[in-house]
Structure 1
Amino acid sequence: MRGQLLGGRYRLMRQLGEGGMGQVWEAQDETLDRPVAVKVISLLAGGGSRGDEARARFLREARITARLQHPNIVTVHDLGETGTGDNRVPFLVMELVRGEGLDAMLRGGAITLPDVARWGAQICDALADAHDAGIMHRDIKPSNILITPSGIVKVLDFGVARAADPYATADRLTRTGLILGTPPYMAPEQARGFPEPRSDLYALGCLLFELITGQLPFQAPDTMGYLSAHLTQEPPTPSSVAQAIPPVWDDLVLTLLRKDPHQRYWNAAGLAQALRRLDHAPAPVPNAPTLRLTSTDIPVRPEPGEYLLATSIGGNGTLRLWDIATGRPVTQPLTGHTGAVFRMAFSPDGRLLATGSMDTTVRLWNIATGLPVGEPLTGHTDTVEDVAFSPDGRLLATSSMDTTVRLWDPATGQPVGEPLTGHTECVAGVAFSPDGRLLASGSLDTTVRLWDPATGQPVGEPLTGHTGHVLRLAFSPDGRLLATSSRDWTARLWDPATGQPVGKPLTGHTNIVWDVAFSPDNSLLATNSEDNTVLLWDIATGQLIGQPLTAPANGDVTAMRSLDGPLLAVSIGEDGTVRLWDPATGQPFGQPLTTRAHPPVGVLLSPRIRHRTRS
């Protein structure tokens, strides 16, 4: 075919490759005087009505695919047919990409983890764009991925596999004959003939496994062997095949290789973020438990004095302050409350700690000395359930079992205005918006109320939808969302500007949802529950990310973040040992704290302290 002129303008110059569907040539576009790549789809050659139907479908779907315009997708310039009569063969004209295919690179063995993370994220970017346009690839494999000399990924052949299937229908990809896709990379549901976008993610999981280990997750002598393996066998962990692969890579790849598509990453965009975090993840710590790579928040390892953790232990109201970096207490125990402390809050500057107790009082503590500041704040007539500082530190809000919310001036210890009334049962949680213009309260009366803290007046109507007690609240860092937890086993998201729910309730826990916490980048919500798990949710989709983080035996697990600190997972052992983890990397954050108390142990992370005085 060398020298042949296709479509009256594309001169074939040099064959670049050949596969099951045809040949790829470097060609010269004689009209525009530029080099191009031409794929000649020989699979559709042949006469009869079936060949005509297949060619027509190929041209139709190639036109759809040509709509994709993305820097990681090879651009389609033109399409046409060569030959006459029953020997007509379609061809596809694409940009000519100078680079090397991953299939060629793999001949030299496994690829370095940073390169795999970087290239995998770009593949996901391409898939996300295609999936948003309603186009699945169906044949992700090394030979369909090119890497340019500058390290840019180019994904080839979107839609070509389906277009070439002579049995494709609107509701089923193939009935018999041609297997759509490449068996070593084929998702179980695709092998059954029912692919979906996450089938592409499964194929990418096979590809990532191969890139980091140098071999495929399943070994088989033939097509049926591969299909059987995808359908019935569990893949090995990559680290069992190749050395020095961190647990977070095992976790990511094995999640992609789940048989059930719903247990994989929800979409390609989320997976791209996870891979980019892997590209920047710190070195693994030996014997660290495997946690899912989920959050874009990757906190630095704490320095001494940079973050403090407050713990409330037992029912006598005793508190301790700990240095996260050393795992050691920084002051003597904080004593003065005569009842259990339910909630704590650091001031935005990290200098004060506010605590609310069953003894009906609120106390303020000097963080540097561990001593009380002023007299206890009195006025509530029942247990103080929650405390929260305003973003500027000038107000302290408290909620109580006495059905009221109170505002205080922490500088003087005096109340500000009259109690906020309207709830008909215990007010379990309060939270300020990031701009300080709203105060939210949640109650056992199942409602959420919004207040203007400047006037003490309600804002809008109560937020209704929970069918059980509303327990805790948190505003997203950008203030656009309010999250609530409830005894109805759900968490909910709300638009505080309108008071309307956002999306559906977040269901996944099997017991009371105690608390909610956002990641600093607004992308994730963490929830913890009486079922002893922490779940992580993608805010954009409302979908769960990864597997639950489960409490140690006879212990507790929770999630938290400070005003300007990272989102952290906290495990509390039966002996009261507190361990913090960065869920973004699966790495421990700081040192374990030995409280020598039985759970439950309340925990609260301070704002980052030392950075305020750095040059």
Structure 2
Amino acid sequence: MANESTSAVAASVCLACGRALPRNAPAGLCPACLMQEGVKLVTSTRARPGDFVPPTAEEMTLLFPDFEILALIGQGGMGAVYQAVQPELDRIVAIKVLASATASDPEFTERFRREAATLARLDHPGIVKLFDYGQREGFAYFVMEFVDGMDLSQRIANGPLPLNEAFAIASQLCDALQHSHERSVVHRDIKPGNVLLAADGGVKIADFGLARLVEPDAADHRLTRTRATLGTPRYMAPEQMTPASDIDHRADIYSVGVVLYEMLTGALPAGHFDPPSEKAALLNPRIDEVVLRALNAEPARRFATVAEVKNGLREAIEKPAPTRQERARTLAFRAFV
């Protein structure tokens, strides 16, 4: 019986992101993940992950003679990141180089320009700073602040975080996003891999490549609307899965809720999930209400700002555990997630 129940649950959720599946869903994938697969197929002739070979240190030295290249510190299908020294300013930087095949793509070039413009308007200790950007020998590049540490996904890989550590990270994440949202910038891809944990305890948000300026007259409005489904499925708000949807800052609030849940439980809130306190026995159930509200499927039922998420967490931590009646009211939030 246990095996039958497990099989039934597995069949009712998306194999990629764990969300509930509509009946007769093809390939065991939800509509959003099917669309993601379609995007991969469409772009496969332009920049496939296996096609990109990052420049060697020697090649990077020729491309960037004004920098001392120290090491390749990360790479993916679309580019690579190097640690380097900028002798003239006596500082360590990160140079993000994008695959030359994508750099020649007009749509990707526009996205590159937009990311640079977005970063340039954000100045906050919790957001990775942009120092310079441009193109050299067919490679588009960013020169950015180097963050000495790890990303949150590496930290979560070791298991759930203690509450005080999770709150410290969430607080700084919310502060940085509040700064971004107040300047009409929605990140749209908040996930542990884009949350950097500095060795000094600081938290910084990276990769505003999917960011959207939500001002009505933003010059890139049409481009972002056509790409509204881009993001990371497991952390995307439901409205991001519908191309025609207007995405605002509440999509980031949903993603913060997913990150919170994962930090506290070590798991993702997939399908019909348990409140955090039922997976982490020592957790104050009052925190459930904060996390579940951030994860509400309806944007209007979420917190209005990330600052409210931070304040809600602080209050939940400071208050004693709820009574049975209060607990029942909190669990009612699950009906809307």
TM-score, length-scaled by structure 1: 0.40
| Structure 2 residue 251 is matched with structure 1 residue 199 | yes
> What is the correspondence of 1:20-99 to structure 2 with a 5 Å cutoff?
20-42=77-99, 45=102, 47=104, 51-83=105-137, 88-99=138-149
Counterpart of 2:169 in structure 1 is 119
Q: Select 2:321's aligned residue among 284, 302, 319.
A: 284
> What is the correspondence of 1:603-614 to structure 2 with a 5 Å cutoff?
none
Q: What does the per-residue CA deviation read over 1:424-463, in whole Å, with 9 as the maximum and x for residues that have no partner? A: xxxxxxxxxxxxxxxxxxxxxxxxxxxxxxxxxxxxxxxx
Distance of 1:292 and 1:128 partners within structure 2: 29
Sequence identity percentage = 34
Q: Structure 2 vs 1, CA of residues 53 and 217 (structure 1 numbering), >3 Å: closer, same or farther?
A: closer
- Look up the SS of the partner of 2:286 in the other structure: helix
| Structure 2 residue 39 is matched with structure 1 residue 2 | no
- Look up the SS of the partner of 1:252 in the other structure: helix
Work out whether residues 251 and 290 of structure 1, in 8 Å CA contact, stay in contact via their aligned partners in 2. Answer: no
Distance of 2:231 and 2:100 partners within structure 1: 14
> What is the correspondence of 1:331-350 to structure 2 with a 5 Å cutoff?
none
5+ long unaligned stretches in structure 2 = 1-55, 213-218
Give the superposition deviation at 1:209. 0.6
Amino acid at match of 1:40: V
Work out whether residues 275 and 292 of structure 2, in 8 Å CA contact, stay in contact via their aligned partners in 1. Answer: yes
Work out whether residues 70 and 129 of structure 1, in 8 Å CA contact, stay in contact via their aligned partners in 2. Answer: yes
- Look up the SS of the partner of 2:128 in the other structure: coil
> What is the correspondence of 1:313-462 to structure 2 with a 5 Å cutoff?
none
Amino acid at match of 2:178: A
Give the superposition deviation at 1:283. 4.7
Q: Structure 2 vs 1, CA of residues 146 and 190 (structure 1 numbering), >3 Å: closer, same or farther?
A: same
- Look up the SS of the partner of 1:173 in the other structure: helix
Work out whether residues 66 and 86 of structure 2, in 8 Å CA contact, stay in contact via their aligned partners in 1. Answer: yes
- Look up the SS of the partner of 2:210 in the other structure: helix
Distance of 1:292 and 1:22 partners within structure 2: 48
Give the superposition deviation at 1:63. 2.2
Q: Select 1:185's aligned residue among 232, 235, 241.
A: 235
Amino acid at match of 1:94: M
Larger Rg: 1
Distance of 1:43 and 1:277 partners within structure 2: 49
Work out whether residues 124 and 271 of structure 1, in 8 Å CA contact, stay in contact via their aligned partners in 2. Answer: yes
Q: Structure 2 vs 1, CA of residues 150 and 277 (structure 1 numbering), >3 Å: closer, same or farther?
A: farther
| Structure 2 residue 201 is matched with structure 1 residue 156 | no
Distance of 2:316 and 2:84 partners within structure 1: 39
Counterpart of 1:274 in structure 2 is 312
Amino acid at match of 2:261: F
Distance of 2:290 and 2:311 partners within structure 1: 12
Counterpart of 2:73 in structure 1 is 16
Work out whether residues 248 and 291 of structure 1, in 8 Å CA contact, stay in contact via their aligned partners in 2. Answer: no
Distance of 2:86 and 2:329 partners within structure 1: 49
5+ long unaligned stretches in structure 1 = 219-232, 294-545, 548-615
Amino acid at match of 1:75: K
Work out whether residues 116 and 212 of structure 1, in 8 Å CA contact, stay in contact via their aligned partners in 2. Answer: yes
Amino acid at match of 2:207: D
Give the superposition deviation at 1:75. 1.1
Give the superposition deviation at 1:46. 5.4
- Look up the SS of the partner of 2:176 in the other structure: helix
Structure showing the higher strand proportion among its residues:
1
Structure showing the higher helix proportion among its residues:
2
Amino acid at match of 1:263: R
| Structure 2 residue 292 is matched with structure 1 residue 254 | yes
Q: Structure 2 vs 1, CA of residues 181 and 146 (structure 1 numbering), >3 Å: closer, same or farther?
A: same
Distance of 2:279 and 2:205 partners within structure 1: 27
Counterpart of 2:275 in structure 1 is 237
Work out whether residues 185 and 211 of structure 2, in 8 Å CA contact, stay in contact via their aligned partners in 1. Answer: no
Give the superposition deviation at 1:239. 2.4
Distance of 2:262 and 2:172 partners within structure 1: 17
Distance of 2:89 and 2:298 partners within structure 1: 48
Give the superposition deviation at 1:10. 3.2
Structure with bigger RCO (C-alpha 8 Å, 6+ apart):
2
Work out whether residues 188 and 211 of structure 2, in 8 Å CA contact, stay in contact via their aligned partners in 1. Answer: yes
